Structure 1
């Protein structure tokens, strides 16, 4: 259970998550006095990247299977696909490094 700062209200972790996800006000459940600010490690640093919309036609059966996996992981379909593609790109880069293949930068291919 999560208790409000004034101790008058309690909610479950699931209710807190739903409140947060829906954009509700969670401020009364946050302990501002114990906040700790730290510099992120390089692994925790986020890089803002530009995005570009890509249309991809997939068989309906494949989309259904993707949706099952997305629900199982608790992610939207687009987030799951982006994660899978990113993981595959990393695998390909690691394979290229092992094989000594020279990477072609994005700028070189324009």
Structure 2
């Protein structure tokens, strides 16, 4: 989809007024600074993976989601 072009001042005025600005934004190139994903690798023992999988299954989430939740909780608690 191609965004409709308007001036910056007109865009700001529409945004500030709470109007829908989605016709003026090219969402395919939108970014969230500081929230880009980066891949990391962590090695776990087989026993740890089995325990992670058991806990993830108990909670109804994936192993990756469980690890992300636990790390986020830990980082939030450290603040």
TM-score relative to the length of structure 2 = 0.56
Mapped partners of 2:63, 2:36: distance in 1: 20
Answer 1 or 2: which has greater helix percent: 2
Aligned to 1:85: 71
Point out where structure 2 has 5 or more consecutive residues left out of the alignment: 1-31
Mapped partners of 1:59, 1:90: distance in 2: 26
Mapped partners of 2:75, 2:49: distance in 1: 21
TM-score relative to the length of structure 1 = 0.41
Point out where structure 1 has 5 or more consecutive residues left out of the alignment: 1-47, 94-110
Aligned to 2:49: 63
Mapped partners of 2:61, 2:53: distance in 1: 9
The aligned length equals 46
Query: Higher RCO, 1 or 2 (CA under 8 Å, sep at least 6)?
Result: 2
Q: Segments of 4+ in structure 1 off by > 3 A?
A: none
